[in-house]
Structure 1
């Protein structure tokens, strides 16, 4: 079985299109590979009526599905993990509910995975049908991500991927809080291929992937996958020591030659301010690492499922239960 995980947040307008697109994907997968498709929708406590619309639509859908509701908003990556854990297939793929990634990409993932010569297939954007400022911001974000976090990331970034059961199981073993799922996919290694696609324009509403979320995601990735902040701070500290030593020698020589009658107030204030700011920056960086380490020692679940419902392809709900951990 092929399981497709769809995190849902503020995507109510897309529900009819999602059902139609996955109906087509299910039919093609059954015809081409003789494989049923299961779609796992994880509603991340969306404030709109996404859950209610899916709850009404899925019993009539021609494909197997699960509908999971988070107890609160845990974030898109936590929703993907919840879906991967609940999925029952042999192959898995992740796609966003706004359908800016073409659903046909799922079949391309499956085609590579069933050959058993690849463990992971990642979707690589060859272009984006987005507004100019959105393209610029996205390109800058992924350029920094590639430069400072994961050098193997394609220049266009990665949002969607497919994998086999071995990779799914390995990902779920890595229960890291405040990390990056995409970073973990690349950290795992294994046999990986890239599947190019053209990102489509968003049909409804605005993206919830805001600048603040991008900054948070970038910082989480930096602290989770690189020691760059520590190395930068170390270099700054070394430069500060060298600068202070040079300044001390200069002041001492000037004092001995009688060119300085009294110590300079301005110089003293600047030096104190510089090293005070440097110390504060260092404490902030070290505190970020310490806080993330502490968060992971708590062993809290990365998400909680308030309710879950199974649908067996136009035959109504199979079971309903609550209180699940992820």
Structure 2
């Protein structure tokens, strides 16, 4: 690649041996249509199958393909971050390897970028092959997140997007370690728009985002962009204090005036269970923020790279020029 790289396509991969060849083929077909210089940056997030070996074979045949190998599994958001750090293009596209997000949509994103937009994200008009539970919880989450933060976080949007070089540099300057990339892209601002597309079923293999990882990602998103859950704890404390005072006064009045013993053991136990329940909920909310502070205070790197295939010294020089 002796010319200036215009487009960098970042592809996080983890145990994607069944889709990696088709993913490369589709991406190459799309990017060849631009008639401009590009690179494909695959980030191997500690795959335990033959993903690494198959991608290395691709690198041998195509020097426009780079492979970033992590020392272990650091997670999807870390892989995206590493890919953007390594990318040298004027525009950086992030897309998963599973082909649920159609590579052909990249051409529409490029058109928007050339019109002057600095962030072009893919908005899911329809989601095929996903369970009702995942669709409804995802929809609810993004709307809740949007209502809890002052940042304009788009709904029905994942990490599939194109960002301008200056947006990429702005993201690289952010010091936080627990990365919620899609939220950070919204936070940095710049001129943003979207293109709609239909999200397909996985080409092959299994999802790399089971419920546990989805919950963690959701919590990262909320704690990185909003402090309202902490305010919620305070509000609930005030509300239950008022309810407790009113209940106590009403019981005393009834006992004195009507000489009736209203307070039963069952009622007392129920109130205690409710109070302890709310106490644990509020402690859990605070614990999420404390854990985030703890992670940031250790100042460990977001990821550790074992090696990079097809990454040369001139690539670093080209990035400095960009």
With the shorter chain as reference, the TM-score category is: 0.7 to 0.9
* The one of 16, 29, 51 aligned to 1:11: 16
Change (3 A) 1:149 1:204: farther
Q: What's the CA shift for 1:15?
A: 2.0
Change (3 A) 1:272 1:19: closer
Q: What's the CA shift for 1:148?
A: 4.1
Q: What's the CA shift for 1:66?
A: 1.1
Q: Would you say the 8 A contact 1:177–1:292 is kept in 2?
A: no
Mapped partners of 2:122, 2:130: distance in 1: 21
Q: Would you say the 8 A contact 1:7–1:44 is kept in 2?
A: yes
Q: How much is the aligned-residue C-alpha RMSD, in angstroms? A: 2.4
Q: What whole-Å deviation, never above 9, does each CA across 1:230-288 have from its counterpart, x for those lacking one? A: 12212211110111111111122123225245964333333333222222222222122
Q: Does 1:160 align with 2:160?
A: yes
Q: Which residue number corresponds to residue 186 of structure 1?
A: 186
Mapped partners of 2:145, 2:277: distance in 1: 26
Give the stretch that moved more between structures: 147-156 or 218-227.
147-156
Q: Does 1:233 align with 2:238?
A: no
Mapped partners of 1:290, 1:135: distance in 2: 30
Q: Which residue number corresponds to residue 29 of structure 1?
A: 34
Mapped partners of 1:259, 1:178: distance in 2: 59
Written as runs of structure 1 = structure 2, the 5 A alignment for 1:118-157 is 118-133=117-132, 134-148=134-148, 152-157=152-157
Q: Which residue number corresponds to residue 315 of structure 1?
A: none
Mapped partners of 2:149, 2:100: distance in 1: 25
Q: Would you say the 8 A contact 2:78–2:179 is kept in 1?
A: no
Q: Does 1:196 align with 2:193?
A: no
Q: Would you say the 8 A contact 1:119–1:164 is kept in 2?
A: yes
Written as runs of structure 1 = structure 2, the 5 A alignment for 1:1-326 is 1=5, 2-30=7-35, 35-61=36-62, 64-115=64-115, 117-133=116-132, 134-148=134-148, 152-257=152-257, 259-260=259-260, 264-310=264-310
Mapped partners of 1:150, 1:201: distance in 2: 33
Q: Would you say the 8 A contact 2:122–2:158 is kept in 1?
A: yes
Change (3 A) 1:150 1:123: farther
| Secondary structure, counterpart of 2:296 in structure 1 | helix
| Secondary structure, counterpart of 1:123 in structure 2 | strand
Q: What's the CA shift for 1:28?
A: 1.3
- TM-score, structure 1 length as denominator? 0.87
Gaps of 5+ in 1: 313-317, 320-326
| Secondary structure, counterpart of 2:48 in structure 1 | coil
Q: What's the CA shift for 1:8?
A: 0.2
Mapped partners of 2:263, 2:96: distance in 1: 63
Q: What's the CA shift for 1:50?
A: 0.4
Mapped partners of 1:290, 1:254: distance in 2: 44
Q: What's the CA shift for 1:88?
A: 1.2
Give the stretch that moved more between structures: 260-269 or 155-164.
260-269
Aligned length: 309
Q: What's the CA shift for 1:147?
A: 4.2
Q: Would you say the 8 A contact 1:149–1:221 is kept in 2?
A: no
Q: What's the CA shift for 1:131?
A: 4.0
